[in-house]
């Protein structure tokens, strides 16, 4: 599948900014209150322990101040958000059973096409619920589980409870707490020992209603020696009021396993995108984050790898593009708890007009993590004089045998490069686009071919009219 939200800077329209008329089974009142949390839990017919968890998380949320160290969140009014919207006809495994208006939304986004194009499994979330989830039979026969998070809780209660909120507890940060209180939708994935899922699983998230929040919770467990790749995409309509997306992704990569989580987010420019993503990686396991951030009004997202046992490895590849009115505050975290662990962070950002991109990252090596090593590369490209970029690296080393490298560069597209390429027959915009494609190539080459093509196409659309 190709993710197809287009931004056209010439007339400042967002192609997938359309919305459907609202038709919902349940729509909670605005604001985050105890009765809203209880409504969500009741609607999902949850066990008592989950309701208790949600209410405790609500107390934690209320006790924590809004963060002031990152992007400006003063425009986000949490009292004006709908925290739960349940669409009609949700959570089916048959595409034919999805309501017609929702089906048409995902037809336009290419979701059924994606399934036909040989993905291992496809999920689609609309507002607060998964409306569709399906896994190919060949993987089900091998014991692979790919369900909505709600079905994971009901069908695999012991496995679910063993891992849920152990990697991202509600105490972690204010937005992890809000997600823990009102989580709804997301995926539950389990890949058994030794099983290698060699084609991607994919989930697509769509916000439709104005002033709505989406709080998916995804829990992924990759057992010993297993391998898999999960891809996430997302869009939303354009409204004058702000929407709010605050997901939590928890991943367990067991001994000798390998997992890749790829995101191409292209939210409309009225969405606050505040996400917590973290993986626990065990002995000789490998976790890879491939993170693309093009849309949203504000993004704060720092995929993390906690390297817990000998030989674990974490890799984070990140690309962010900030245009007018956007702040992309992205980066990554690698934390070494054990000897002979290794990691790398490669972060690329592009800024234009008044757009601002920031790299914010953490490398932490605890005492006893002997011979741990991590390398960080941050490269920023400014397309004009109004653009801004910042780098906030945090490096904390408690082990004398550790090795850490950090390199940061900031560059501009210069006239000599443009003139040289124009002399070879390219227009000014084509020349700038070629330079940018070369700049993001280390990220794009790690995506499946159709996603790499789409990432380049989206950036080209963002680039139109940026030079000259």
pLDDT tens sequence across 53-73: 999 999 999 999 999 999 999
C-alpha to C-alpha distance for 213 and 182, rounded to whole angstroms: 10
Q: Measuring CA to CA, how many Å separate 294 from each of 235, 351, 432?
A: 11, 11, 18
Average pLDDT over residues 313-335: 94
Of 59-68, 95-104, 258-267, 383-392, highest mean pLDDT: 59-68
Average pLDDT over residues 373-377: 96
Average pLDDT over residues 273-302: 95
- What is the pLDDT, as a whole number, of residue 463? 63
Q: Which residue has the tokens 């690698």?
A: 334
- Does the pLDDT value for residue 188 go beyond 60? yes
Average pLDDT over residues 451-462: 66
- What is the pLDDT, as a whole number, of residue 132? 54
Q: Which comes out higher in pLDDT, residue 287 or 466?
A: 287
Q: Percent of the chain having pLDDT more than 90?
A: 54
C-alpha to C-alpha distance for 144 and 193, rounded to whole angstroms: 10
Q: Mean pLDDT in the chain?
A: 83
Average pLDDT over residues 244-263: 95
C-alpha to C-alpha distance for 194 and 273, rounded to whole angstroms: 35
- What is the pLDDT, as a whole number, of residue 96? 63
Average pLDDT over residues 399-427: 88
Do 159 and 190 meet the contact criterion of CB atoms below 8 Å apart? yes
Residue 422: pLDDT band by 50, 70, 90 thresholds?
A: confident
Q: Which ranges of 76-225 does DSSP label H, i.e. alpha helix?
A: 100-109, 111-116, 137-140, 149-155, 157-163, 174-182
- Does the pLDDT value for residue 389 go beyond 70? yes
- What is the pLDDT, as a whole number, of residue 295? 82
Residue 4: pLDDT band by 50, 70, 90 thresholds?
A: very low
- What is the pLDDT, as a whole number, of residue 419? 86
The kind and range of the H/E element at 440 are: helix 428-444
Do 89 and 100 meet the contact criterion of CB atoms below 8 Å apart? no
Average pLDDT over residues 74-100: 74
Q: Which of 280-284, 411-415, 454-458 has the lowest mean pLDDT?
A: 454-458
Q: Which comes out higher in pLDDT, residue 205 or 69?
A: 69
Instruction: Quote the tokens at residue 325.
Output: 């009115």
- Does the pLDDT value for residue 238 go beyond 80? no
Q: Is 391 exposed, middle or buried (0-12, 13-18, 19+ CB in 10 A)?
A: buried
In angstroms, how far is CA 150 from the centroid of its own chain?
20
């Amino acid at each position: 599948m190709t993710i197809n939200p287009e931004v056209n800077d010439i007339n400042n329209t967002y192609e997938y900014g359309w919305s459907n008329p609202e038709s919902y089974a349940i729509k909670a009142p605005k604001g985050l209150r105890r009765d809203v949390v209880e409504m969500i839990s009741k609607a999902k017919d949850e066990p008592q322990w989950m309701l208790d968890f949600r209410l405790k998380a609500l107390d934690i949320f209320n006790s924590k101040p809004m963060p002031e160290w990152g992007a400006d969140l003063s425009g986000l009014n949490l009292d004006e958000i709908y925290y739960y919207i349940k669409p009609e006809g949700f959570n089916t495994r048959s595409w034919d059973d999805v309501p017609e208006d929702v089906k048409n939304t995902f037809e336009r986004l290419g979701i059924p096409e994606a399934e036909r194009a040989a993905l291992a499994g496809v999920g689609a979330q609309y507002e607060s619920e998964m409306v569709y989830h399906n896994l190919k039979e060949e993987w089900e026969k091998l014991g692979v589980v790919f369900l909505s998070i709600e079905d994971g809780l009901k069908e695999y209660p012991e496995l679910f409870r063993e891992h849920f909120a152990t990697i991202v507890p509600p105490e972690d940060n204010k937005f992890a707490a809000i997600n823990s209180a009102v989580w709804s939708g997301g995926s539950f994935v389990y890949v058994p020992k030794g099983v290698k899922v060699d084609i991607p699983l994919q989930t697509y998230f769509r916000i439709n209603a104005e002033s709505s929040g989406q709080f998916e919770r995804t829990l992924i467990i990759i057992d010993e020696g297993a391998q898999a790749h999960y891809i996430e995409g997302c869009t939303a309509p354009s409204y004058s009021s702000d929407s709010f997306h605050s997901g939590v992704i928890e991943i367990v990569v067991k001994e000798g396993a390998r997992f890749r989580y790829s995101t191409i987010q292209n939210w409309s420019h009225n969405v606050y995108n505040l996400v917590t993503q973290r993986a626990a990686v065990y002995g000789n396991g490998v976790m890879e984050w491939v993170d693309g951030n093009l849309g949203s009004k504000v993004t704060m997202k720092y995929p993390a790898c906690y390297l817990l046992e000998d030989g674990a490895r974490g890799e984070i590849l990140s690309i962010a593009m900030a245009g007018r009115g956007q702040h992309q505050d992205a980066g990554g975290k690698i934390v070494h708890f054990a000897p002979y662990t290794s990691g790398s962070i490669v972060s690329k950002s592009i800024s234009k007009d008044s757009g601002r991109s920031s790299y914010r990252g953490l490398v932490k090596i605890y005492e006893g993590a002997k011979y741990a090593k991590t390398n960080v590369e941050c490269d920023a490209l400014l397309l004009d004089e109004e653009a801004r970029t910042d780098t906030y690296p945090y490096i904390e080393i408690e082990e004398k045998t550790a090795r850490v490298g950090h390199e940061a560069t900031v560059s501009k597209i210069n006239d000599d490069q443009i003139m040289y390429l124009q002399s070879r027959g390219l227009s000014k915009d084509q020349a700038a686009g070629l330079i940018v494609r070369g700049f993001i190539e280390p990220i794009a080459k790690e995506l499946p071919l159709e996603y790499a093509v789409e990432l380049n196409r989206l950036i080209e659309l963002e680039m139109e009219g940026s030079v000259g």
